Amino acid sequence: MLEIEKLNAGYGRVQVLWDVDLAVEAKQIVALVGANGAGKTTLLRAISGMIAVRSGGVKFRDRDIAGASIESIVDLGIAHVPEGRRLFSGLTVRENLVLGGWRRNNRDLSRVVALFPVLGQRLNQVASTLSGGEQQMCAIARGLMSEPSLLLIDELSLGLAPIMVDEIVGRLPEIAASGTAVLLVEQDIDTALTVSETAYVLETGRITRSGSSRELLADATIQAAYLGLESQ
């Protein structure tokens, strides 16, 4: 569904991504992991049209979207949940969700409220007064309101308690099974590799490892570099 080939991107004179190859299939959860500053957020921004692609290909459903506008990329079926949630803090939960669906003229909240029942209890609450976990739920739900077939999630666990991370991550398989594939950017590699099927390791702007998430999680090099475990 999403095919990235030899992607190069960056900011101004600074190149961040170098010849990145990555793919996401329909109904799949794919993890993109790596240390802070590796270029993970930059890759999501390049996919969603927030920054320009310098060279290489970004295809979604066999259509080249490199250089396309953010609006057209949303219309094609890609939604981006940014790092830090970035809700409209002065608006209510309901208003945030409705704004997420405006390109589709979608005001039906039933799907996202079923996925995150607490939001149904908070619809008239101002978004800035939600807990961090509830704000992340609202951000993901807002992305889903555009009825995407691919959801990009940047640093889902940032600033959240482990119990809340587990609750939100536990919804990702349901999201994928319903027809929305997930590309998950996450510093918590244990969490990311546990929930995903396939994973890519990004280091200083380059993909250095890829394959089955289960195999990468069991790899001694990955354990030592990212999980602080010493090889036996």
Q: Is the pLDDT reported for residue 119 higher than 90? A: yes
pLDDT in tens, 128-187: 999 999 999 999 999 999 999 999 999 999 999 999 999 999 999 999 999 999 999 998
pLDDT in tens, 41-64: 999 999 999 999 999 999 999 999
- The predicted pLDDT at position 230 comes to 56
Q: Is the pLDDT reported for residue 231 higher than 70? A: no
Range of the domain at 189: 2-77+148-226
Domain count across the chain? 2
- The predicted pLDDT at position 218 comes to 94
CA nearest neighbour of 183 among 165, 167, 168, 196: 196
- The predicted pLDDT at position 227 comes to 82
125 and 186 housed in the same domain:
no
In contact, 28 and 184? CB cutoff 8 Å: no
pLDDT in tens, 9-48: 999 999 999 999 999 999 999 999 999 999 999 999 999 9
9 and 112 housed in the same domain:
no
pTM > 0.85: yes
Tell me whether residue 232 is in a domain: no
Tell me how far the alpha carbon of residue 181 is from its chain's centroid. Answer: 10
- The predicted pLDDT at position 79 comes to 98
Tell me how far the alpha carbon of residue 24 is from its chain's centroid. Answer: 12
Written in H, E and C, the secondary structure of the chain is CEEEEEEEEEECCEEEEEEEEEEECCCCEEEEECCCCCCHHHHHHHHCCCCCEEEEEEEECCEECCCCCHHHHHHHCEEEECCCCCCCCCCEHHHHHHHHCHHHCCCCCHHHHHHCHHHHCCCCCEHHHCCHHHHHHHHHHHHHCCCCCEEEEECCCCCCCHHHHHHHHCCHHHHHHCCCEEEEEECCHHHHHHHCCEEEEEECCEEEEEEEHHHHHHCHHHHHHHCCCCCC
62 and 154 housed in the same domain:
yes
Residue 11: both structure tokens together? 């900011």
160 and 222 housed in the same domain:
yes
42 and 96 housed in the same domain:
no
> Of the candidates 101, 123, 142, which is a domain's last residue?
142
Tell me whether residue 131 is in a domain: yes
11 and 95 housed in the same domain:
no
- pLDDT tier, 232 (very low <50, low <70, confident <90, very high otherwise): very low
pLDDT in tens, 57-91: 999 999 999 999 999 999 999 999 999 889 999 99
- The predicted pLDDT at position 228 comes to 73
Tell me whether residue 73 is in a domain: yes
54 and 99 housed in the same domain:
no
Sheet holding 53-60, edge to edge: 14-24, 2-11, 53-60, 63-64
In the block, which residue shows the tokens 């007064």?
129
Tell me whether residue 160 is in a domain: yes
Tell me whether residue 231 is in a domain: no
In the block, which residue shows the tokens 């607490």?
118
Q: What is the CATH number of the domain that holds 178?
A: 3.40.50.300
> Of the candidates 142, 167, 185, which is a domain's last residue?
142
- The predicted pLDDT at position 229 comes to 63
Tell me whether residue 18 is in a domain: yes
Share of the chain above pLDDT 70, in %: 98
- The predicted pLDDT at position 94 comes to 98
